Structure 1
Amino acid sequence: MEKRRQYEFPRFLHHWYLVIFTLALLATAQAFDYGDALAKSLLYFESQRSGRLPYNQRVTWRDHSGLTDGLEQGVDLVGGYYDAGDHVKFGLPMAFTVTMLSWGVIEYGEQIAAAGEYEHALEAIKWGTDYFIKAHTSPNVLWGEVGDGDTDHYCWQRPEDMTTSRQAYKIDENNTGSDLAGETAAAMAAASIVFRKANPHYSHLLLHHAQQLFEFGDKYRGKYDSSIGVVKNYYTSVSGYKDELLWAALWLYKATDRVDYLKYVINNAHCFGGIGWAITEFSWDVKYAGVQIIASKLLMEGRHEHKEHSHVLEQYRSKAEYYLCACLNKTISANVDRTPGGLLYIRQWNNMQYVSTAAFLLTVYSDYLKHSGQKLSCPAGEVEHQEILKYAKSQVDYILGSNPMGMSYLVGYGPKSPRRVHHRGASIVSYRENKGFIGCTQGYDNWYGRDEPNPNIVVGALVGGPDWQDNFRDQRGNYMQTEACTYNTAPLVGIFAKLHQLQLQLGEHKLSRTPSFFASY
């Protein structure tokens, strides 16, 4: 430690030193346009649309694709989303994407509306739920995948030129998939809450499907990747199906207020791992942290039926706080790793998915604490709700450019963002510009290996992001870092809307990394 100096600044010099230091702090604290980030995050979902595109399609480098999906199986499976830079429609991550979009609208719908993006948010959700309605062809049948990753990865084509297999795969009574059924039920239940006022009939339809899917998944239990074997190399269900059944039951309870769904979450809390698993990630596969966060909110609401089950809900809350404290670096030994630049780091492959989900859970829990007048209890001490939001914001700001690379990892946002995203459609000349057929190997030969930036920009896509040392290589072949997924961006929608509202209320200077913003929140 440097030895304390034996002299003091003259008072007038001390004053000017503080002024200069404050100006320097404000200059280095970047102010981000969260409203622009919100608009771009919702635009991304239009890039990922499969099926016949609508008249109001804003991403003009895309065109119709997958128009015969399900034809071989005698079912209409046209629509839905491609999950990433390829053209398989994977049911589990698609459903999680819709659940997270819906949760963002449920929590921050007013803020999304104030930013003028509410209709776009509803359109993004409905593009997914319309597909789920089609895919749920009878009470105990759900089509869970169209195409397969192995054949798809042999080709580098635009979706409009697709020549790969469009084989469709389903779960049913003999081919179980409780995780897939549970997540799809959760997505439709959450979406039913979103559409309750805007489209009551559609809301009721979604809820009907959600209840049937939950009953199906609960009655015929098993992992979906045992029934749909082709998914194992891409979206294998490592956590099993019990977290999805708890997750679905909670969303159905929120959508219906029926106590039997709450009792399901209470009665299965232990045997399904809801109060046994202390988790440090939240993702398309592992839902426990989300379950625990929502269960904690029920406890904070203090309704009679919740007080009746307070002992179990407290155990859910204990595990929720374990997750949050680990993200905040406030446990004794089990903290989530961080890069030198401060980014949460779970694993090298598409790490940003875990950052965006953590930022969302931290943000909503901060709000829950604020509204209930409570604090987060961590092994390293109590944490105020402002501090939780401050950390969530630091993760969002890292994504938008406040990082050692000075790069926005949200594509198309800011002066510097990835230009060689690992994305077939974006990396090849637009079908609308050149309708000449581009085959499998032609795409690899003429487009994949090019050093030039992609001809089309996947605006609003959140790429996999930097490595554990904050390094990022903007190369198309570096798919661990440059591929983007729908479930990366989905959790950001609600956070961007909240930060945009605070930005408007408090002004950009207060929203910088100065304490005044968080003190007034």
Structure 2
Amino acid sequence: MEPKSSFSLCVVAAAVLQLLLLAPSLAAAFNYADALAKSIIFFEGQRSGKLPPGNRMTWRGDSGLRDGAQYNVDLVGGYYDAGDNVKFGLPMAFTTTMLAWSVVDFGKFMGAELPHARAAVRWGADYLLKAATATPDTLYVQVADPNQDHRCWERPEDMDTPRSVYAVTKDKPGSDVAAETAAALAASAIVFRRSDPAYSSKLLHAAMKVFDFADRHRGSYSDSLSAFVCPFYCSYSGYHDELLWAASWLHRASNNVSFMSYVQVNGMQLGAGDDDYSFSWDDKRVGTKVLLSKGFLKKKLQGLQLYKAHSDNYICSLVPGTSSFQSGQYTPGGLIYKEGASNMQYVTTATFLLLAYAKYLRSSGASVVCGAKDVSPAELVALAKRQVDYILGKNPAGMSYMVGFGARYPRRLHHRGASMPSVRAHPGRIGCDEGFAYLHSGAADPNVLVGAVVGGPDASDAFADDRDSYGQSEPATYINAPLVGALAFFAGTAKSTN
């Protein structure tokens, strides 16, 4: 065999180095595959409706089996958003979109968990499809009066508070929640394009109709349904961001040029020129920019250069050492810190965007431009890994913020089902007021809500494992959904040592 030239050796060495950088922990500190599995099981604990025989959160039972019946509409199913028994349409749709994006971009890393991830997407998409198509020019956006629900501490299997139904119409518009629903249906259509093309087509068709409804009848659902959605899930950012987000997903799902034209014509009016530094169930601007940057980086689509520039600005705000851009804050232990309550939702969305953007950059040989400094995709992956590792236990408290993962994790969740005896352990009904004894108890949860990621520590890395401290101890579907994609990436690219 002839010896390789020095040039060839350099090329090989560079390729190996790049692989090592993009999967920065081949000797990983955590079992990411186990964390991925648990992060998906969590959604089975949040299910509403008739549970399937294989539901793996075995302490849960059927609930909300007559949702919508008094209005002659089937609204059974879907997800409870967090620790209560309300089905809020805006965060549920965002959760479904992010679960779908996780599968679309990182499904190849999920291995045996891919069918479970698809099932999680489908549980949300099935409900949203019913909510969007049951009645013409109507989108059902919420089940249960949250004010009444929050006056009780009841298991979902016992709840007897009003299961009121709320909808947006052409006379009471809700472009924010309608466009997010369109995004969720479109993203889900991509997930099932090959495995169930008929279902995928049905989702995409519904997504187009809901988007048209959102765009033609503009207005915020926070105005139309203020007494029932605020202050719980007010759309503080307005509805412009959701319209652009939904059009972007519809283009990706359909490849229909009309949706890209919509983005190009309406982008500036809908906030494309704004820099923004958080991504959440409410504010989709930076998520849209990262999503659209893929079109610019891979296909060089005209008019999308702006989205790459603004995506860079967002990413630079997270990267230490780019001080002229940096607006992101970190705890002393290294966790991204944006808000005081339920901060972990911003951590998981930022982590997802770091990895998605790294993927899009890498595919086109590009980097992030932070002033005079270029930041490689590998650096974004490394930063994302530090956030994931913090969540799983590499933090000053030595605590995993994922329930059921590791030896030390939160035991007192602000979550009705987890905090009360299950219907299997205590078949008798536990009433509204009686349940508050469990809320205020210092005892550990009788039911382990496997995979739930809680709101997390404060700005000083301190965490109160206390049900009454809901900002820290309450889990939510929109915290977990982006983390599913991040965990899939590390499960597929890193070897575990434990």
TM category (shorter chain) comes to: over 0.9
Deviation at 1:365, TM superposition (A): 0.8
- Letter of the 1:252 partner, please give it: L
Query: With CA pairs under 8 Å and 6+ residues apart, which has the higher RCO, 1 or 2?
Result: 2
Once the two structures are superposed, the pairs formed by residues 438-517 of structure 1 within 5 Å of their partners are 438-445=430-437, 447-504=438-495, 508=497
Native 8 Å contact 2:316 2:325 kept in 1: no
What residue in structure 2 maps to residue 151 of structure 1? 148
Deviation at 1:508, TM superposition (A): 4.5
Quick one: distance in 1 between partners of 2:372 and 2:455?
Answer: 31
| Pairing partner for 1:118 from 100, 114, 117 | 114
1:183 corresponds to 2:213 = no
What residue in structure 2 maps to residue 288 of structure 1? 285
Quick one: distance in 1 between partners of 2:149 and 2:299?
Answer: 50
Native 8 Å contact 2:298 2:360 kept in 1: no
- Letter of the 1:339 partner, please give it: T
Q: After the TM superposition, which of the residue ranges 144-153 and 479-488 deviates more from structure 2?
A: 144-153
- Letter of the 2:385 partner, please give it: K
- Classify the secondary structure of the residue corresponding to 1:226: helix
Quick one: distance in 2 between partners of 1:120 and 1:435?
Answer: 29
TM-score, with length taken from structure 1: 0.88
Quick one: distance in 1 between partners of 2:343 and 2:326?
Answer: 18
- Classify the secondary structure of the residue corresponding to 1:145: strand
Deviation at 1:210, TM superposition (A): 0.1
1:431 corresponds to 2:427 = no
What residue in structure 2 maps to residue 78 of structure 1? 76
Quick one: distance in 2 between partners of 1:139 and 1:164?
Answer: 28
- Classify the secondary structure of the residue corresponding to 1:466: coil
Quick one: distance in 2 between partners of 1:83 and 1:455?
Answer: 21
- Letter of the 1:293 partner, please give it: V
1:38 corresponds to 2:63 = no
- Classify the secondary structure of the residue corresponding to 2:167: strand
Deviation at 1:176, TM superposition (A): 0.1
| Pairing partner for 1:128 from 124, 127, 145 | 124
Deviation at 1:150, TM superposition (A): 1.1
Gapped runs of 5+ residues in structure 1?
1-28, 510-521
Deviation string 1:345-394 (CA, Å, 9 cap, x unpaired) is: 00111000000000000011111111111111012611011111000000
Deviation at 1:337, TM superposition (A): 0.8
What residue in structure 2 maps to residue 342 of structure 1? 334
Once the two structures are superposed, the pairs formed by residues 257-336 of structure 1 within 5 Å of their partners are 257-274=255-272, 276-303=273-300, 306=301, 309=302, 312-329=303-320, 330-332=322-324, 334-336=326-328
- Classify the secondary structure of the residue corresponding to 2:118: helix
Deviation at 1:140, TM superposition (A): 1.7
Quick one: distance in 2 between partners of 1:134 and 1:187?
Answer: 13
Native 8 Å contact 2:318 2:326 kept in 1: no
Q: CA RMSD in A?
A: 1.3
- Letter of the 1:234 partner, please give it: F
- Classify the secondary structure of the residue corresponding to 2:231: helix
What residue in structure 1 maps to residue 396 of structure 2? 404
Gapped runs of 5+ residues in structure 2?
1-26
Native 8 Å contact 1:37 1:496 kept in 2: yes
Native 8 Å contact 2:319 2:326 kept in 1: no
Deviation string 1:289-332 (CA, Å, 9 cap, x unpaired) is: 111001111011135xx1xx2xx311111111111110113241
Quick one: distance in 1 between partners of 2:191 and 2:136?
Answer: 23
| Pairing partner for 1:357 from 343, 349, 352 | 349
Deviation at 1:139, TM superposition (A): 4.2
Quick one: distance in 1 between partners of 2:220 and 2:312?
Answer: 28
- Letter of the 1:469 partner, please give it: S
The structure with more radius of gyration: 1
Quick one: distance in 2 between partners of 1:418 and 1:286?
Answer: 28
Quick one: distance in 2 between partners of 1:186 and 1:427?
Answer: 34
Native 8 Å contact 1:331 1:380 kept in 2: no
Quick one: distance in 2 between partners of 1:176 and 1:168?
Answer: 15
Deviation at 1:334, TM superposition (A): 4.1
Once the two structures are superposed, the pairs formed by residues 93-242 of structure 1 within 5 Å of their partners are 93-112=91-110, 114=111, 116-136=112-132, 137-229=134-226, 230-242=228-240
Identical columns (%): 49
- Letter of the 2:165 partner, please give it: A
What residue in structure 1 maps to residue 60 of structure 2? 62
Quick one: distance in 1 between partners of 2:299 and 2:197?
Answer: 28
Once the two structures are superposed, the pairs formed by residues 390-401 of structure 1 within 5 Å of their partners are 390-401=382-393
Deviation at 1:138, TM superposition (A): 3.2
Native 8 Å contact 2:331 2:460 kept in 1: yes
Deviation string 1:436-482 (CA, Å, 9 cap, x unpaired) is: 0101110013x112111000011111100000000001011110100
Native 8 Å contact 1:244 1:287 kept in 2: yes
Deviation at 1:175, TM superposition (A): 0.7
Deviation string 1:73-97 (CA, Å, 9 cap, x unpaired) is: 1111111000000000000000000
Native 8 Å contact 1:30 1:402 kept in 2: no
TM-score, with length taken from structure 2: 0.92
Quick one: distance in 2 between partners of 1:51 and 1:232?
Answer: 25
1:379 corresponds to 2:371 = yes
Native 8 Å contact 2:251 2:257 kept in 1: yes
Quick one: distance in 2 between partners of 1:351 and 1:61?
Answer: 28
